[in-house]
Amino acid sequence: MPLVRVDIKQHQDPAFAKRVGQLIYAAMHSAIGVPENDNFQILAEHDEQHFIFDPGYLGIKRTDGLVVIQITLSEGRTVEQKKLLYKTIAESLNTELAIRLEDVFINLVEVKKENWSFGNGIAQYAI
């Protein structure tokens, strides 16, 4: 049930954002048990005027290769599961796409299950 938003600076490879999304989905599947086919993503590329970040916040040296990932998901994961997810995403992006670990920014937004409608105007997970 996650909804993933990925924001990056415009990349010369038109398939780059899609590859990032595929790795994030694989990490969610393995680290927090996201079901098969539960893959909804919005992948956006921005010019430098519309991609603003602090290159040194919290002592982390970020570059224009920054990947901002926001995952909205149902609440209920443990802190350990979240830490594993962060690590799995960052390491897979680093290993597979040479994205620096410092350039992986992840934000989880947890919502109650009744806050989802996957179509037909129905809250499929509402109890």
Catalytic residue among 2, 14, 35, 55: 2
CB-based contacts of 76, cutoff 8 Å, min separation 6: 110
Considering the entire predicted model, what is its pTM?
Answer: 0.94
How many angstroms separate the CA atoms of 66 and 100, rounded?
Answer: 8
Q: Say which CATH topology domain 3-115 has.
A: Macrophage Migration Inhibitory Factor (3.30.429)
List the chain pLDDT tens, one digit each, 127 residues: 799 999 999 999 999 999 999 999 999 999 999 999 999 999 999 999 999 999 999 999 999 999 999 999 999 999 999 999 999 999 999 999 999 999 999 999 999 989 988 899 999 888 7
- Catalytic, 55? Answer no
